[in-house]
Amino acid sequence: MIIVMEKDSGDESVENVVGELSRRGFDVHRSTGAERTILGVVGNVETLDPREFELMEGVHEVVRVSEPYKLSGRAFKRENTVVRVRDIEVGGDQVVVMAGPCTIESEEQVARTAEKVSRAGARILRGGAYKPRTSPYSFQGMGVDGLKILRAVADSHGMATVSEVMEIRQIEGMLPYVDILQVGARNMQNFSLLAELGRVDRPVLLKRGMSSTIQEWLLASEYLMSGGNYNVILCERGIRTFETYTRNTLDISAIPVVHKLSHLPIIADPSHATGLRDKVMPLARACVAAGADGLLIEVHHQPENALCDGPQSLYPDQFIKLMDELRIIVPAVGRSI
Amino acid sequence: MIIVMEKDSGDESVENVVGELSRRGFDVHRSTGAERTILGVVGNVETLDPREFELMEGVHEVVRVSEPYKLSGRAFKRENTVVRVRDIEVGGDQVVVMAGPCTIESEEQVARTAEKVSRAGARILRGGAYKPRTSPYSFQGMGVDGLKILRAVADSHGMATVSEVMEIRQIEGMLPYVDILQVGARNMQNFSLLAELGRVDRPVLLKRGMSSTIQEWLLASEYLMSGGNYNVILCERGIRTFETYTRNTLDISAIPVVHKLSHLPIIADPSHATGLRDKVMPLARACVAAGADGLLIEVHHQPENALCDGPQSLYPDQFIKLMDELRIIVPAVGRSI
Amino acid sequence: MIIVMEKDSGDESVENVVGELSRRGFDVHRSTGAERTILGVVGNVETLDPREFELMEGVHEVVRVSEPYKLSGRAFKRENTVVRVRDIEVGGDQVVVMAGPCTIESEEQVARTAEKVSRAGARILRGGAYKPRTSPYSFQGMGVDGLKILRAVADSHGMATVSEVMEIRQIEGMLPYVDILQVGARNMQNFSLLAELGRVDRPVLLKRGMSSTIQEWLLASEYLMSGGNYNVILCERGIRTFETYTRNTLDISAIPVVHKLSHLPIIADPSHATGLRDKVMPLARACVAAGADGLLIEVHHQPENALCDGPQSLYPDQFIKLMDELRIIVPAVGRSI
Amino acid sequence: MIIVMEKDSGDESVENVVGELSRRGFDVHRSTGAERTILGVVGNVETLDPREFELMEGVHEVVRVSEPYKLSGRAFKRENTVVRVRDIEVGGDQVVVMAGPCTIESEEQVARTAEKVSRAGARILRGGAYKPRTSPYSFQGMGVDGLKILRAVADSHGMATVSEVMEIRQIEGMLPYVDILQVGARNMQNFSLLAELGRVDRPVLLKRGMSSTIQEWLLASEYLMSGGNYNVILCERGIRTFETYTRNTLDISAIPVVHKLSHLPIIADPSHATGLRDKVMPLARACVAAGADGLLIEVHHQPENALCDGPQSLYPDQFIKLMDELRIIVPAVGRSI
């Protein structure tokens, strides 16, 4: 932490600040310039609230230096993390596509959709069994019965599975069926849930909160990793901005930024970001071209009959076309698909 | 719901849309103008996803008319809701001030703070027993032991109590001690928690999510009310914007807007919005001048020793001064304090 | 315009609104449903301020139907506009890359940069002669002397030129040297400048304002087109959001959205959006994969010595590598480069 | 400027950075800690682009220390600036209210409105003669003829005048009639206009740009002051956020923040921020309670017939009521009105 004093701060102010820091057990480097004094604070500064010093007499500004995230940063681990899910590697050479319906509705629905997406090249089957719905009257998901369907269908195509967990009490029951536990955007800062998932031996896909900075997102991943679960996949899904034409603004810049700051793999979800299927394909291509390690895409064999988010689900034929386009693009980023 | 067709949409497109609506059991009013056709859809349109029609051939725009919130709207109830907490009325003539420490740390701390704020005119004592902390290593709160302290101290001053509930499993244990259950900004869309609180016979203080629109906030209150709990107090606490000088931007306009749209009382929390105590006093005055039904303010008898959020806690003397200023202001809005 | 009355609005309110509309010369379609009355207003409603009716007794909501932009919309012109600049077509089959230094500094600088970018496939040479600088002490640009250099160097490589115009009085002097007049983000709503450029026979590149919606942007293009200048190229360059890691958030979704709403070509400027060269390459690839009609990219033969925005300028070798990557990507969107 | 090196940056990286700084003529303080090296850069660092060093090998973060604004900061001048306009002091003990129509339409309109607002206590008469209109077909203002009306009416009531200047070529013609030259939000970063106004001997009212940070706003005021014009009044008028219920979000926190950072007076414009007259009164009260030095309010003797922005104009009776309410509030902030 660096404390920058005001230009005209007297010696007394400086001594006050230094005294307070010493009282708390920190070493202080003092640098007295022509213009002002700058104090460098050494020690475990994470426990300090910078605002306490900002409020002291004569202090101009307090700057945090060490980034508050540690385990997720490149400083902790230089090489990329590769998350292994069955025989699939997320964060490796291959761009991994996860596809399937928003919500599990029936065996027929999952089976027909999976057949299409699997043949087109998707490696992981998605499908929600527990749904966060804005209205209490909407369909709330099939629960474990749905997960059994997901597992069986995925197995018959050699696919892995990903499904959203909403509450701590659902975790246990999901483990037999789900290969990647997905944490939704609304739960990105549900710290109790994250802490619990940190103790589970299963990869977690952590979506970015709708109004979370990249730093807050990496901090949330820290909750998982500090519990011992290092198999974290980040997922950009759009942020809230003043532009209302699209549901959210997909922050594609976050892909290269996360790759620079962190060793964790990052995928993107263009379906939720845009909310309309005719925007899903161009943005899916853009994410892969920007270097995403994978995609999470909603596909339904009959979107017009979907119980949830039909308008953002691709038709199987659109998904097949998209995969063909992605196959053209991936060599440009040195990957395969 | 109103469906506006494109200018050059042919009859076939119109028939397609009308057919789809009929198939789903809706009546359609058709208005054919010189420029274009407009379709009015009658029936329980809440079950329709407007995007499904936006994607149909020849459709220009789909507009929702009925606001999706019902029980919280003025259309449902014209006169203001007054929430009764012991002998206190929130939403009545009096501006109700809730004050106390961010976190319950000890009996001495709560007692010394309560003595000051009570004498200055605060009617409700705040204090957190369960804390959502960004870091897993931070102090997590005293739990029920803290609530016992809060209750005892409040009783000795004839005050009511308010404290945050973070998980469903905490509710039961809080009821003997807490008069108003507070839902934090991060939990505004934790639908499971809201549904459960809808079934409890206890007033709920619902904070606005950091990036939630006023409409989403009123929708969240619907979750409480549809369960049978009509004693809802809304609390504005700042939204996330591009301006980073203050922690959040307190959206004071939300106060008159909510008063127009809804019958529910609305209070404001200037402490969390700004994060620094020298901004708390001017913004507290502003909220009351804008017509807020109350305030939620952090006060600590020794802020520099607070375990949490000391920099935004007022000193008791500042709180006393603030109350004096508010007494000058309230007649301008036809209230007392 | 559609006026939705309140559920319990009486006949008198409806008559009042209808009367006011008639008084102003509008025809009204009245649709009386079980729940409420809806009024459709026919005529030249652009002259009406919807808020005037929102404030009338018994009115629930006023909805604008006709999009306020006309000449830029697909309703006005179905097929894509192709802007011809010398022998180059922007908005046609080819993805057009415009590259060069932020600011024209010297003949040597422009010549050495142009040689590289031209050989790599850039068709249009960029370079600023007038600079909007935050500080009055910064370098303000070479003016017409710079434009002469730009023109001469471009000619020697068979390239066209693009340069920013900041004030009305600069236009005349730029015409002999500049093939595309660029309007910067800060001037997107400088209506006097736009009106003047609408009367000039020269293509205009219109950047999106940092906090402008897509609708406001299309409206701004209307100022150019209503003056008679239909050769408008839109340029997405990032919007301001709460995320501060990148200078702005490049809104790549705007590319497919504009292509749906408007017939005008849209290119992207990843250099200004991100502000750091290591983010420029992934985002440039992403924009092309999303369907952009072109790119505007800063390249400098020695970025570390640039007078302006060096950190966001690519090295020539990076630009060559980027062009090679784009050549791999373009077939995925059915284009060439 | 402070340069924070990576934890594992070698000596070579540090020497590289120090060398580059020396080459440019800066002194460097080096502080070598257990964890990392921190470099303090001394000299006229405003000329450095921090990003150039961020891109160097081994650099973790670059932090600017000296705030880039100087003349507007408290460090330059501790005591409040009081701007004198005829016999009125803006930034002194009195809260100064500027009121009048959005646009000057006729002598009768200005005279009837001025009579009301003057009697209610407004000291300065507002009225636009040049209007920035989104549509080229809207009323563009009366120009100098309007200013003559404004001046004559103001004189007959002993009021000062304020009116917006949009272009450099208008300045000269406005000086005989206008006491305060207003710069609109869209022109806050029109540096040519600001530079010109910096050389004029007339107070300037500088509105905050819709998406400008407080720092950018203070920097814009620097353009005026560095030219020699120290009579600057800042005006908060709402920022663009994700909330769309109100036209903009009035950032009332900016009032105490500006008072802390700068010596310049700050007033607020609740009319443009909200766009609807029923929100203007509560927000006007809030701004004064937060410590604003004044208000800018639109009043029209017949808002329903206004040529521009009628829905946000107060009726004279509403303005009178507002002034009465403000008279109750001002003692709470130690002011008069």
Query: How far is residue C260 CA from its own chain's centroid?
Result: 15
Q: What is the pLDDT of residue B43?
A: 66
Q: Which of D302, D249, D241 is nearest to D279 (CA)?
A: D249
Q: CA of D137: how far to CAs of B108, B192, D221, in Å?
A: 70, 53, 33
Nearest by CB to C49, which of D49, D132, D310?
D310
Region D129-150 average pLDDT: 79
Q: What are phi and psi of D164, to 5 degrees?
A: -80, 135
Q: Which residues of A touch B211 (CB under 8 A)?
A: 210-211, 240
Q: Contact B40/C38, CB-based, under 8 Å?
A: yes
Neighboring chains of C (3 or more beta-carbon pairs < 8 A): A, B, D
Q: Which residues of C touch D276 (CB under 8 A)?
A: 51, 54-55
Region B244-269 average pLDDT: 94
Q: Are residues B281 and B314 in contact, defined by beta-carbon separation less than 8 angstroms?
A: yes
This model of the complex carries an ipTM of 0.89
- Measured distance CA(A228)–CA(A230) in Å, rounded: 6
The CA radius of gyration of chain A, in Å to the nearest whole number, is 23
Q: Contact D286/B282, CB-based, under 8 Å?
A: no
Size of interface A-D (CB pairs under 8 A): 51
Distance from CA of D60 to the nearest CA of A (A): 9
Q: What is the pLDDT of residue D332?
A: 97
Q: CA of C314: how far to CAs of C100, C106, C297, C319, in Å?
A: 9, 18, 8, 6
The length of chain C in residues reads 337
Q: Contact D167/C192, CB-based, under 8 Å?
A: yes
Nearest by CB to A249, which of C246, C251, C328?
C251
Q: Is C84 helix (H, G, I), strand (E, B) or coil?
A: strand
Q: Which residues of chain C have pLDDT under 70?
A: 33-35, 42-46, 65-68, 132-139
pLDDT tens digits, one per residue of D231-257: 999 999 999 999 888 889 999 999 999
Size of interface B-C (CB pairs under 8 A): 51
Q: What is the pLDDT of residue B67?
A: 62
Residue-averaged pLDDT of chain A? 90
Q: What are phi and psi of A253, to 5 degrees?
A: -55, -25
Q: Which residues of A touch C239 (CB under 8 A)?
A: 241-243, 249
pLDDT band at A134 (very low <50, low <70, confident <90, very high): low
pLDDT over threshold 70, residue A139: no
Percent of chain B with pLDDT over 70: 94
pLDDT band at A275 (very low <50, low <70, confident <90, very high): confident
Q: Are residues B181 and B203 in contact, defined by beta-carbon separation less than 8 angstroms?
A: yes
Per-domain boundaries in chain A? 2-63, 83-333
Distance from CA of C147 to the nearest CA of A (A): 33
Size of interface A-B (CB pairs under 8 A): 72
Q: Are residues D251 and D238 in contact, defined by beta-carbon separation less than 8 angstroms?
A: yes
Q: Contact C282/A255, CB-based, under 8 Å?
A: yes
Segment holding B321, helix H or strand E: helix B316-329
Percent of chain B with pLDDT over 90: 61
pLDDT tens digits, one per residue of D272-294: 988 888 899 999 999 999 999 99
Nearest by CB to A241, which of C239, C252, C256?
C239
pLDDT band at A316 (very low <50, low <70, confident <90, very high): very high
pLDDT tens digits, one per residue of B61-117: 787 765 667 788 887 888 999 999 999 999 999 999 999 999 999 999 999 999 999
Q: Which residues of A touch B45 (CB under 8 A)?
A: none
Q: What is the pLDDT of residue C135?
A: 56
Q: Contact B63/C60, CB-based, under 8 Å?
A: no
Residue of D nearest to C187 (CA): D190
- Measured distance CA(B69)–CA(A128) in Å, rounded: 26
Cβ neighbours around D144 below 10 Å, total: 14
Residue-by-residue DSSP string for C172-237:
HHHTTT-SEEEE-GGGTT-HHHHHHHTTSSS-EEEEPPTT--HHHHHHHHHHHHTTT---EEEEE-
Q: Which residues of C touch A274 (CB under 8 A)?
A: 253
- Measured distance CA(B256)–CA(D278) in Å, rounded: 8
pLDDT tens digits, one per residue of D16-57: 999 888 888 787 877 776 667 878 776 666 677 888 888 888
Q: What is the pLDDT of residue C307?
A: 80
Q: Contact B278/D256, CB-based, under 8 Å?
A: yes
Please tell me which residue, D72 or A268, carries the higher pLDDT value: A268
Residue-averaged pLDDT of chain B? 90
Q: What is the pLDDT of residue B266?
A: 98
The angle that helices C107-120 and C316-329 make with each other, rounded to 10 degrees, is 30
Architecture of domain B83-333: Alpha-Beta Barrel (3.20)
Nearest by CB to C4, which of B4, B65, B242?
B65
pLDDT over threshold 80, residue D193: yes
Q: What is the pLDDT of residue C189?
A: 87
pLDDT over threshold 70, residue A133: no
CB-side exposure of D85: number of CA atoms within 13 Å?
A: 30
Q: Residue B305: is it exposed, middle or buried by C-beta count within 10 angstroms (0-12/13-18/19+)?
A: exposed
Residue of A nearest to D44 (CA): A35
Nearest by CB to B289, which of D254, D255, D286?
D286
Q: What is the pLDDT of residue B301?
A: 93
Q: Contact A219/B134, CB-based, under 8 Å?
A: yes
Reading phi first (left if > 0) and then psi (alpha if -120 to 50, else beta), residue B62 is in beta
Region A6-12 average pLDDT: 80
Q: What is the pLDDT of residue B251?
A: 97
Q: What is the pLDDT of residue A255?
A: 97
CATH superfamily of B2-63: Phospho-2-dehydro-3-deoxyheptonate aldolase; domain 1 (3.30.70.1140)
- Measured distance CA(C267)–CA(C291) in Å, rounded: 9
pLDDT over threshold 60, residue B136: no
Q: Which of A27, A66, A211 to mutate against chain D (most D CBs within 10 Å)?
A: A66
Q: CA of C9: how far to CAs of A336, C15, C32, in Å?
A: 62, 11, 12
